[in-house]
Amino acid sequence: MNDKTIYRVCLGVAILFAVILLPFLTSADEGQSVVKYESGFYYTVEKGDTLWEISDRFFRSPLLWPDLWSENKQIKNPHRIWPGERISLFHHIGEKSLPTEEMQEKVIPKKEGAYYYYAGIDAVGFVRQVPLKPWGSIFKVVDNKTIISQGDRVFIWQAEDGSLSVGEKYTVFRTLKPSRDKKKGGNFGIQHYLTGIVEVIESNPGFALARVIQSFRAIEINDLVAPFEKRSSKIPLTDSMKGLYGKIIVSEEHEVDFGDYSIAFIDKGDEDGVRPGQLYHLFEQETSIDPKTNLEVSLTPLDFGSMLVLFTEKAAATVLIIQSDKSVYPGAKFRSPLQ
C-alpha cells in the first residue's frame, strides 16, 4: 500500500476503527452485552523509521510528531523507536452493544504493516453460491432449555458422510437467502448465518454430545455444524480495485437500515478483484432534468460512508461499515476511492 493510499485511509473517512475488545462486559438485553472497547489505526515500525518520518507519511506534516508521541505513552524516548514496535495513529475508547461471546485481543506478531484488527471475525457470516456442507445438525439441548447459549450441552445428529470427533470444534450455522438479484434473476447466493461454536465431548454411533463454547447469537434446534476454521483477526490493508462500482445486497441481520459497525454483503467478490483489506466508499447520486435539453442528467456522486472488506467469496464479499453519515440500506451503491 503506497503512502498516498494510506493517507486517504487514515484521513479520508474519519480513520479506520479496529475493534479490540477488553475483558469486561456488563449486562444488557438478552443475548447481548455492552462491550467496552478500544479502536484505532495502527502501524508497525520498520527499520529506519522515525516519528518525524511517520508523521510526515501519514499526516503530511512532520511537525505533528509530538502529537504522535503523546498518543503513544509506551515510547519513552521519541528519538528512538524500534522495528516491530506498534504505533497508534489514532485511538478511541467507547462502548458498543455486541454479542456476549466476542473474543478478546490476541497477541499481535511483530514486523507487520498497517492493518485493521476485528476481534469478532469468527462470528461473521458470508454469502456463497454453493452452501457449506454440514457435518451434522443440532436436535436436542440438555435440560430442554428454550434458549441455547454458551455452556449448554447439545445433541447433534451426525451426517452419514461425516464424523464428529471428540475434542474437535465445529461452527454452528444456518443458511438464509439474502435477497433476489432482480437484474439477473435468482438469488445472489446463500447467506451463511453463524450462531456459535461447539466442542464435541462424546461421540456415539449416529450422534454426538457437544458443549457450546461460544454463542454469537441464539442457537436453535436444527442449526447445522461444520468444522471450525480459525480466522485471523488482523486484516492487512491493501489497495482497492480501481473503477469498481457495486451495491450492498443486504445486511447480515436483514435490517431495513443500518450504520457504523454493521456487517453487510456486497455483489462483488473474488472474480471482480475484491480482496480483504480493501476500502470502498458508499455514495449517492441524484439526477435532475436539464432545462435546455429536457433530458435527465446525473449529478456529481457524493460519498456518505466507507466500508472495509473482511473476506470474499467468488461472487460476493463480506464488509464492515466503518463510518457512515447516514443510514445504509440494501441496494446502497459503493465505488472505489477516487484516485
Tell me the pLDDT tens digit for each residue of 132-191. 999 999 999 999 888 898 899 999 999 987 789 999 999 999 999 876 666 666 667 899
Q: What is residue 331's predicted lDDT score, i.e. its pLDDT?
A: 93
Residues 221 and 265 in one domain: no
Query: For residues 152 and 211, is the Cβ–Cβ distance under 8 A?
Result: yes
Identify the weakest region by mean pLDDT among 24-33, 209-218, 228-237: 24-33
**Do the domain assignments include residue 203?**
yes
Residues 103 and 146 in one domain: no
Q: Are strands 136-141 and 153-158 parallel, antiparallel or unpaired?
A: antiparallel
**Percent share of the chain, pLDDT over 90:** 45
Residues 90 and 143 in one domain: no
Q: What angle do CA 5, 6, 11 make, to 5 degrees?
A: 100
Residues 131 and 186 in one domain: yes
Residues 179 and 262 in one domain: no
Output the domain CATH number for residue 264.
2.40.10
Task: Classify 108 as helix, strand or coil.
Answer: coil
Q: What is residue 70's predicted lDDT score, i.e. its pLDDT?
A: 80
Q: Are strands 169-176 and 190-204 parallel, antiparallel or unpaired?
A: antiparallel
Residues 100 and 26 in one domain: yes
Could you tell me if residue 143 is left (phi over 0), alpha (psi between -120 and 50 degrees) or otherwise beta?
left
CA 55 to CA 220: how far, in whole Å?
50
Domain that holds residue 112: 17-120
**Do the domain assignments include residue 54?**
yes
* Mean pLDDT, rounded, of the chain: 80
Other beta carbons within 10 Å of 69: 18
Could you tell me if residue 8 is left (phi over 0), alpha (psi between -120 and 50 degrees) or otherwise beta?
alpha
Residues 276 and 299 in one domain: yes
Question: pTM score > 0.85 for this model?
Answer: no
Q: What is residue 182's predicted lDDT score, i.e. its pLDDT?
A: 65
Identify the weakest region by mean pLDDT among 5-9, 70-74, 194-198, 291-295: 5-9
Residues 142 and 223 in one domain: yes
**Do the domain assignments include residue 58?**
yes
Residues 157 and 113 in one domain: no
Of residues 253 and 69, more confidently modeled: 253
**Do the domain assignments include residue 280?**
yes
What is the number of domains present in the chain? 3
Domain end call among 227, 261, 280:
227
**Do the domain assignments include residue 239?**
no
Using the CB atoms, write b or e for 166-197: b if 16+ within 10 Å. eebbbbbbbeeebbeeeeeeeebbbbbbbbbb
Q: What is residue 117's predicted lDDT score, i.e. its pLDDT?
A: 82
Residues 135 and 189 in one domain: yes
pLDDT band, residue 3 (cuts 50/70/90): very low
Query: For residues 233 and 117, is the Cβ–Cβ distance under 8 A?
Result: yes
Query: For residues 138 and 222, is the Cβ–Cβ distance under 8 A?
Result: yes
**Percent share of the chain, pLDDT over 70:** 77
CA 15 to CA 7: how far, in whole Å?
10
List, in sequence order, every beta strand (DSSP E) within 45-125.
86-99, 115-117
* Burial environment of residue 233 by CB neighbours within 10 A (0 to 12, 13 to 18, 19 or more): buried
**pLDDT one-digit tens code per residue, 30-84:** 444 343 434 456 778 888 888 888 887 777 677 778 888 887 888 888 888 888 8
Position 278 pLDDT exceeds 60: yes
Residues 220 and 290 in one domain: no
Mean pLDDT of 188-206: 93
Residues 175 and 114 in one domain: no
Query: For residues 223 and 174, is the Cβ–Cβ distance under 8 A?
Result: yes
Domain end call among 120, 136, 171:
120
**Do the domain assignments include residue 222?**
yes
**pLDDT one-digit tens code per residue, 85-133:** 878 776 444 444 433 333 333 333 334 567 888 888 999 999 998 999 9
Domain end call among 72, 104, 120:
120
**Do the domain assignments include residue 197?**
yes
**Do the domain assignments include residue 306?**
yes
